[in-house]
């Protein structure tokens, strides 16, 4: 498996709290995501204008107490979340979830690319 494929292939996806998700990747990296942040970055057409890419859902629209209600795989490429605010139309590709990682390592790598 190539290193780029390992970086976007999860070996474990685990809900570690009502609003926290842990993903272990085949390259050994660990990503943690929070429901409120993922909800705000939902890639669906209801949350982001299809033509302009402008966010329709704003942080003020997302409750501080947001939780994951259900987490499910979509084929071999993505994850689907049902959130406690009854939103559930977003499909988060593994690549997108890896891009959203904000750990110190990923933040430093992204800064070097700029």
pLDDT tens digits for the chain (114 residues)?
777 787 899 999 999 999 999 999 999 999 999 999 999 999 999 999 989 999 998 888 999 999 999 999 999 999 999 999 999 999 999 999 999 999 888 888 888 887
What does the pLDDT read at residue 108? Answer: 87
What does the pLDDT read at residue 40? Answer: 95
| Residue 66, Cβ density class (10 Å: 0-12 exposed, 13-18 middle, ≥19 buried) | buried
Domain segments of the chain as ranges:
34-113
CB 16 within 8 A of CB 34: no
User: What ranges in 16-56 are assigned the alpha helix state H?
Assistant: 35-40
What does the pLDDT read at residue 112? Answer: 87
CATH architecture for the domain at 34-113:
2-Layer Sandwich (3.30)
What does the pLDDT read at residue 107? Answer: 87
What does the pLDDT read at residue 10? Answer: 96
What does the pLDDT read at residue 6? Answer: 79
């Amino acid at each position: 498996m190539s290193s780029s494929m390992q970086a976007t292939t999860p070996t474990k996806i685990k809900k570690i709290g009502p609003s926290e998700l842990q993903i272990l990747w085949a390259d050994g990296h660990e990503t943690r995501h929070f429901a409120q942040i993922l909800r705000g970055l939902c890639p669906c057409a209801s949350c982001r204008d299809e033509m302009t890419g402008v966010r329709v859902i704003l942080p003020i629209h997302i409750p501080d107490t947001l939780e994951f209600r259900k987490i499910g795989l979509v084929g071999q490429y993505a994850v689907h979340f049902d959130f406690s605010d009854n939103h559930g139309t977003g499909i988060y590709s593994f690549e997108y979830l890896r891009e959203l990682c904000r750990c110190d390592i990923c933040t430093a790598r992204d800064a070097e690319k700029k």
